[in-house]
């Protein structure tokens, strides 16, 4: 380890230490075999297509191209070099085997997934001796719509081969995969990673993020009671659930209720390139009296940053800290042992009684006063599935409340009034939106709507069923 520390990047040294903690063998790598890998995901489909195109241009080169899922499971492998393929088979770097850092120690794809950043691991930097004949470059791929880690593109070659372009090729392949996923998921703008807003301090006053909305459903109230009990006892709480469901709000409400005069510092994990600066800016606040730290989206945290936080967070003051994640098992391994309580926050679709109170509350935020909702609009909001949870509701209400004092169904986007089961093309989306726009105008009859749309009434009824459009009753 001493020589490695002098010459290897800090991230590689940190990975070696984790590999030791995991008990990975220093000799021959022994990755876990999971059988036939799944193939149905959008990431796997797009990644295989990109891998195939790249393989055709590199078929004569001593390079193996691999696609892995977020757990390091190899989904696909391509190479025109049969000697390299035989050698990779000998170390089980093949479909069905997991090369996550926990399974195989320090390696390119495992470290890229752990730290969520492009990575090159060369020969002697590998933890296992049996991997030191290779150089690996890997780039993680995030879902362009949700930011969730989907997997990685990995290029492996002999250590003696010229490898300067490996990382550039891996970056290009990963970027193409992301673009293809975005196009096939219906397009639209990809979410912008958090930048600039390093942390937010919730002031000790009544405000939406700190728990003023009352009268919500029993499932929300029960979750809040559990978090409050954990905070009151000084335990570290992990609030898990879907993004946008109110995980950070739940933590903030509990912290504010238990310590009404304290500070609530909400630090949400930013883009990977900004993590070092992010840590330096907010971590000095940890341990200050009457300060509660909320680590949002902790499952997006690179492993090296989690290692640093593991040594920092247990020394927090009596107000403690909490974290949010999709699932407890998605948290970095360094943080999991620190968690003393896990609370699940239900998605909005499982809390239909919360939709209208939240909508009214959000509308008041936008306008600074009460905004009315018609019974038809309330029903439409309750009936929608809200795949984007409260974050989606906020966007819908904000758009409607800026255009009217009384929100009706005609002010809601077409997707709120439809329950289609398949992804629509651009033409289908335009057609659905036009049908909704025409038929939700006050007083319009089906005959008048069909005439304006240039369709027969029978066709309009068929299209309503095809798109799952729910029109207001009465």
Closest of 154, 105, 112, 114 to residue 132, by C-alpha:
105
CA angle, 53 as apex, 48 and 54 as ends, to 5°?
95
Domains for the chain: give ranges and CATH numbers: 2-184 (3.30.450.40), 200-345 (3.40.50.300), 350-467 (1.10.8.60)
Other CB atoms within a 10 A radius of the CB of residue 412 amount to 21
Q: How confident is residue 186, by pLDDT bands cut at 50, 70 and 90?
A: low
Largest CA distance in the chain: 82
In the predicted model, what is the mean pLDDT of residues 192-212? 44
Residue 456 in this model has a pLDDT that exceeds 50: yes
Backbone angles phi, psi at 244, to 5 degrees: 85, 0
Contact 91, 133 (CB under 8 A): no
Residue 382 in this model has a pLDDT that exceeds 50: yes
Q: How confident is residue 203, by pLDDT bands cut at 50, 70 and 90?
A: very low
Contact 239, 323 (CB under 8 A): yes
pLDDT averaged over every residue in the chain: 84
Please name the residue that has the structure tokens 């940890």.
286
| 199 Cβ contact list (under 8 Å, min separation 6) | 265, 266, 267, 268, 281, 282, 285
- Quote the pLDDT of residue 345: 92
In the predicted model, what is the mean pLDDT of residues 246-263? 86
Query: Cα separation of 103 and 108, whole Å?
Result: 13
Name the β-bridge partners of 412: none
Contact 15, 102 (CB under 8 A): no
pTM for the complete prediction? Answer: 0.68
Contact 322, 350 (CB under 8 A): no
Alpha helix (H) residue ranges in 335-455:
355-367, 375-383, 389-401, 426-439, 446-453
Dig out the tokens for 419 from the structure.
């329950």
Residue 53 in this model has a pLDDT that exceeds 80: yes
Other CB atoms within a 10 A radius of the CB of residue 456 amount to 11
Dig out the tokens for 110 from the structure.
């495992």
In the predicted model, what is the mean pLDDT of residues 399-410? 86
| Poorest-pLDDT segment among 167-176, 225-234, 393-402, 415-424 | 415-424
Dig out the tokens for 447 from the structure.
């005959």
Residue 257 in this model has a pLDDT that exceeds 80: yes
Tens digit of pLDDT for each residue in 108-154? 999 999 999 999 999 999 999 999 999 999 999 999 887 889 999 99
DSSP secondary structure of 350-372: G-GGGHHHHHHHHHHHHHSS--E
Other CB atoms within a 10 A radius of the CB of residue 470 amount to 17
Residue 319 in this model has a pLDDT that exceeds 60: no
Burial 73-105 (b: 16+ CB within 10 A, else e): bbbbbbbbbeebbebbeebbbbbebbbbbbbbb
- Quote the pLDDT of residue 390: 87
Please name the residue that has the structure tokens 């240039």.
454
Contact 242, 326 (CB under 8 A): yes
Tens digit of pLDDT for each residue in 407-419? 888 888 877 777 6
Residue 180 in this model has a pLDDT that exceeds 50: yes
- Quote the pLDDT of residue 416: 79
């Amino acid at each position: 380890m001493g020589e490695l520390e002098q010459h290897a990047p800090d991230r590689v040294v940190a990975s070696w230490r984790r590999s030791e903690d995991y008990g990975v063998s220093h000799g021959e790598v022994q990755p876990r075999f999971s059988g036939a890998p799944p193939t149905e995901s959008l990431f796997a489909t797009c990644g295989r297509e990109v891998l195939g195109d790249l393989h055709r241009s590199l078929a004569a080169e001593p390079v193996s191209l691999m696609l892995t899922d977020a757990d390091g499971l190899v989904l696909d492998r391509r190479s025109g070099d049969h000697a390299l393929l035989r050698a990779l088979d000998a170390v089980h770097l093949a479909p069905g085997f997991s090369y996550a850092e926990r399974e195989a120690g320090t390696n390119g794809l495992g470290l890229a997934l752990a730290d969520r950043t492009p990575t090159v691991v060369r020969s002697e930097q590998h933890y296992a001796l049996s991997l030191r004949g290779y150089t690996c470059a890997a780039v993680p791929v995030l879902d362009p719509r949700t930011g969730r880690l989907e997997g990685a593109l990995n290029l492996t070659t002999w250590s003696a081969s010229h490898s300067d372009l490996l990382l550039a090729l891996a970056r290009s392949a990963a970027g193409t995969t992301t673009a293809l996923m975005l196009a096939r998921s219906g397009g639209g703008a990809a979410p912008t990673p958090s930048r600039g807003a390093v942390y937010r301090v919730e002031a000790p006053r009544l405000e939406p993020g700190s728990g003023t909305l009352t009268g919500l459903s029993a499932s929300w109230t029960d979750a809040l009671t559990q978090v409050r009990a954990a905070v009151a006892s000084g335990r570290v709480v992990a609030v898990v659930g879907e993004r946008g469901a109110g995980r950070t709000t739940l933590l903030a409400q509990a912290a504010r209720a238990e310590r009404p005069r304290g500070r609530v510092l909400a630090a949400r994990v930013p883009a990977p390139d900004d993590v070092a600066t992010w840590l330096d800016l907010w971590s000095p606040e940890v341990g200050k009296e009457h300060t509660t730290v909320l680590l949002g989206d902790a499952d997006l945290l690179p492993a090296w940053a989690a290692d640093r936080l593991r040594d920092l967070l247990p020394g927090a003051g009596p107000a403690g800290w909490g974290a949010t994640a999709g699932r407890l098992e998605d948290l970095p391994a360094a943080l999991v042992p620190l968690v003393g309580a896990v609370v699940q926050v239900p998605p909005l679709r499982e809390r239909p009684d919360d939709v209208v109170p939240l909508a009214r509350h959000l509308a008041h935020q936008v306008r600074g006063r009460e905004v009315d909702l018609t019974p038809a609009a309330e029903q439409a909001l309750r009936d929608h599935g809200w795949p984007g949870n409260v974050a989606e509701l906020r966007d819908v209400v904000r758009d409607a409340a800026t255009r009217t004092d009384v929100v009706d169904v005609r002010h809601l986007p077409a997707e709120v009034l439809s329950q289609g089961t398949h992804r629509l093309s651009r033409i289908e989306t335009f057609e659905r939106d036009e049908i909704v726009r025409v038929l939700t105008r006050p007083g319009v009859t089906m005959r008048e709507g069909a005439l304006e749309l240039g369709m027969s009434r029978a066709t309009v009824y068929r299209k309503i069923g095809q798109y799952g459009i729910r029109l207001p009753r009465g």
